[in-house]
Amino acid sequence: MNPYLVFILAVILIGYILDLIISIVNLRSLDPRLPGEFIDVLDGQQYAKSQNYTRTKTTFSMIKETATTVFIIAFILIGGFNWADGLARGFELGPIATGLIFTAILLLFMTLAGMPFSIYATFVIEERFGFNQTTWGTFILDFVKGIILAMSIGGPILAFMLWLFEKGGSWAWLYCWIGVVVAMMVIQLLAPVLIMPLFNKFTPLNDGKLKDLVTNYAVKEKFKIKGIYTMDGSRRSTKLNAFFTGFGRFRRIVFFDTLMEKLSTDEIVAVLAHEMGHYKLKHVFKMLAASILQMGILFFILSRFINNQGLFAAFRMDHVSLYSSLIFFGFLYSPISMLLSVIFNIFSRQHEFQADRYALISTGRPEALISALKKLSVTNLSNLTPHPLHVFLNYSHPPVLERIRVLR
């Protein structure tokens, strides 16, 4: 049997079994006793609802992962990738254009296969628990916009990569790395002003007490911002959030309109201080640098598997091609990607504690941040008692009870 096929199937199955085990132990860790820290903001009925939300989402996730795993394995074994390659080659275009068509066919096919799950999650689960605000019109429009963005941004980047690997010789991986990093930085700069407004409406924060508090805090912390905005997050969900986006003169603070409704001004400033702490402590740039390094390693290893005959035989391909190599390499890289994800999450959780500390010190109001964290958890029906293994492998943020304990 093809050793590459054995390895790929083993990786898929082991990953699936691991996710299944983690989901089961996470469900078993749900504690029916309301944590004492939340007695002042939650009653027994609300707490039971949050646990039911966790059970429902986890069960749905297990069903989705089972179907996805079966689908991917079947797609590989019946020669689905070769079928897509045959369709792409049928247009009789050059290798780069054929590669773009091949990738588009796969992405569209996978997206359509996952559409029923996305619809059920949005219009059944999120609706049942009072979160969904998305209309069918918005859902369809988001889907169309996503396809257009993938074609207009992802397409040229992929074409550029294929051209570099075709013409760049042994140093092609380095040229690709540099080119993709530059493209990524440009997208990060332009996203707040060109891409994000395609999906949401951003409105400058009205004059008033909150704007004054935010502005004064930013001045005190010597933090330059382009603007303070609210975003119509309620257009899709009732969940709360806030974030920074952009770099340099494009940097802006964004509050979900749902956050403005649920949190007091002091709590919003505390959330802002936490997000600002990530910038002040260079977390954003550290994680970005780590991602860039990871990307370089990925391209280097990829260059060693270009047009590998054994790999193509595993996917039952009739033709060897550069563009297919990029897709198939993703299966081989999956274990490394999973390991790096765990490492990234470890550092990310440390960064959250550090940003909390920055907010505590810079505002002098730990109770405001604790209160905000509680309201965010309650409103979003967060799981208050996740299993430690689930946290270790999948959480980019520490559990809220741990954050509150450290803050106190």
Digit-coded pLDDT (tens) for 146-185: 889 888 888 999 999 999 888 888 898 999 999 989 988 8
Q: Which two tokens stand for residue 290?
A: 């780590």
Give helix then strand counts, H and E, for the chain: 17, 4
Confidence at 405, pLDDT banded by 50, 70, 90: very high
Same domain, 222 and 295: no
Judged against a pLDDT cut of 70, whether residue 248 lies above it is answered with: no
Same domain, 121 and 14: yes
Q: Which of 127-141, 197-211, 342-356 has the lowest mean pLDDT?
A: 197-211
Does a structural domain hold residue 145? no
Q: Which is nearest to 403 in space by CA: 39, 25, 37, 33?
A: 37
- Mean pLDDT for the stretch of residues 65-77: 95
Same domain, 234 and 311: no
Same domain, 215 and 104: no
Residue 284: the pLDDT is 85
Digit-coded pLDDT (tens) for 108-153: 989 999 999 999 999 999 999 988 889 999 999 989 988 898 888 8
275 is catalytic: yes
Same domain, 66 and 103: yes
356 is catalytic: yes
Judged against a pLDDT cut of 80, whether residue 242 lies above it is answered with: no
Percentage of the chain modeled with pLDDT above 70? 98
For position 227, which CATH number holds? 3.30.2010.10
Q: Edge-to-edge strand order for the sheet containing 202-204?
A: 202-204, 227-231, 252-256, 242-245
Catalytic residue among 19, 267, 352, 356: 356
For tokens 């390693």, what's the residue?
Answer: 297
Most confident of 79-93, 202-216, 274-288, 305-319: 79-93
The 3-state DSSP class for residue 171 equals helix
Residue 123: the pLDDT is 94
Between CA 157 and CA 42 the distance in angstroms is 48
Q: Which domain holds residue 227?
A: 202-262
Q: pTM of the full predicted structure?
A: 0.86
Residue ending a domain, choose from 210, 228, 262: 262
Q: Which is more confident, 250 or 245?
A: 245
Does a structural domain hold residue 324? yes
Q: Which of 49-58, 172-181, 215-224, 319-328 has the lowest mean pLDDT?
A: 215-224
Same domain, 323 and 207: no
Residue 247: the pLDDT is 66
Same domain, 112 and 209: no
Percentage of the chain modeled with pLDDT above 90? 47
Judged against a pLDDT cut of 70, whether residue 255 lies above it is answered with: yes
What rounded mean pLDDT belongs to the chain?
Answer: 89
Between CA 50 and CA 381 the distance in angstroms is 5
Confidence at 249, pLDDT banded by 50, 70, 90: low
| CB-count exposure of residue 212 (10 Å: 0-12, 13-18, 19+) | exposed
Same domain, 249 and 335: no
Count how many Cα atoms sit within 13 Å of the Cα of residue 43 in the half-sphere of its side chain.
1
Same domain, 238 and 342: no
Q: Which of 63-72, 243-252, 344-353 has the lowest mean pLDDT?
A: 243-252
Judged against a pLDDT cut of 90, whether residue 204 lies above it is answered with: no
Same domain, 229 and 299: no
Does a structural domain hold residue 160? no
Same domain, 209 and 291: no
| CB-count exposure of residue 74 (10 Å: 0-12, 13-18, 19+) | exposed
Quote the number of domains for the chain: 2
Catalytic residue among 19, 85, 275, 352: 275
